[in-house]
Structure 1
Amino acid sequence: METMSTGRRSILAAPFIRCAAVALLMTSITTVAKADEFAGPTFRKGLWHFVRTLDMIAHRKSKQRLLERELTACVDPTVSMKATFSSPSVGSCVSARPEKKNNQYTFANRCDVMGPVSTVITVHSDESYTEQNELSEGQVPRVELVVAHRIGDCGTDTAQVSSAKTLSH
């Protein structure tokens, strides 16, 4: 009788073990798929210098600088890129998938804090890139440009340095 009940337990346990194995396999596949979803650029972690400008486009040949800001910080820009590439839809704004051509990633429409923007990210290397966001909807067209480059490794005494200028003419 003992042998039969042990046999029954193993027969009953087999489907559970198979289900657990299938669940574990599916979790692994899902995790790998999510990791593979990011098809954007990757950059080296370190001390990076960023210059961000925001211009208002008054006419085709005329622009006015609204903001210029610089930041030097110890960061991993790949983390920010993952957020940019996974921009969720917001309200009626639906983000387009990026198109890659050579060293450029172009989003025809991306939901951003500025609203729906067209974005072009140009990768110069794993230590340098530019990101241009153009907002053409609304009252005044605007262009935001971020120029980023790695300037070294992070140290324990590395401090963030930031400066901002709001310009008006």
Structure 2
Amino acid sequence: MISGARLGKISCRYLGIVIALAISLSSGAKADEFVGPIFRKGLWHFVRTLDLVAHRKTKHRLVERELTACVDPTIAMKATFASPSVGTCVSAKPEKNANTYTFSNRCDYLGPVSTVITVHSEEAYTEVNELNKGDVPRVEQVVAKRLGDCNDAAADVHRSATLSH
């Protein structure tokens, strides 16, 4: 059995290790701080469309999907802003102008894309990805809007409403 004095020494030692680890992690994180937009967690509604652009004025809608879920969009933005290079595709750093973030080239599941994220508020944004590879350019657009706080009843109502459309 461990005495109270010995337990106190062990606890203090571990506390010291935890504090040292926290300080080293926080000082290392400052170099890689997220510089993108921050959004509020909650119940969000997303509308995603994917269009083929045959001509400047002619688009053919391939996909239109809606999703309502309790999420933290900032987590997805961190992944977008940390877009790594894939093969020969090298992601560009985003350029910020007022409430718009523009990536001239970002490596995505579609391939190399140009991305524009327009932040309307901490509760709404639009993301447009343009892929000009191949004969027919494609445009993916995501319109996101926060509906409110998460709670089980609200989430269930919005999920069923989304599924019924």
TM-score strictly above 0.5: yes
What residue in structure 1 maps to residue 5 of structure 2? Answer: none
Counterparts in 2 of 1:69-84, with a 5 A limit?
69-84=65-80
TM-score by structure 2 length? 0.79
Structure 2 letter corresponding to 1:33: A
Segments of structure 2 that go 5 or more residues without pairing to the other structure are 1-19
Distance 2:54 2:82 in 1: 31
Counterparts in 2 of 1:95-114, with a 5 A limit?
95-114=91-110
Count of residues paired in the alignment: 143
Deviation track 1:53-76 (CA, whole Å, cap 9, x = no partner) reads 110000111111111000000000
Which of 86, 100, 103 is the matching residue for 1:90?
86
Counterparts in 2 of 1:112-151, with a 5 A limit?
112-151=108-147
Report how far residue 33 of structure 1 moved. 2.5
Report how far residue 139 of structure 1 moved. 3.0
Secondary structure, counterpart of 1:87 in structure 2: coil
Asked if 2 retains the 8 angstrom alpha-carbon contact of 1:42 and 1:126, the reply is: yes
Larger radius of gyration: 1
Which of 141, 149, 152 is the matching residue for 2:148?
152
Q: Identify if the C-alpha distance between structure 1 residues 164 and 98 changes in structure 2 by more than 3 Å, giving closer, same or farther.
A: farther
**Cα RMSD between the aligned structures?**
2.3
Structure 2 letter corresponding to 1:94: V
Distance 1:26 1:59 in 2: 54
Report how far residue 26 of structure 1 moved. 4.8
Structure 1 letter corresponding to 2:28: T
Segments of structure 1 that go 5 or more residues without pairing to the other structure are 1-21
Calculate percent identity across the aligned residue pairs.
65
TM-score by structure 1 length? 0.77
Q: Identify if the C-alpha distance between structure 1 residues 61 and 94 changes in structure 2 by more than 3 Å, giving closer, same or farther.
A: same
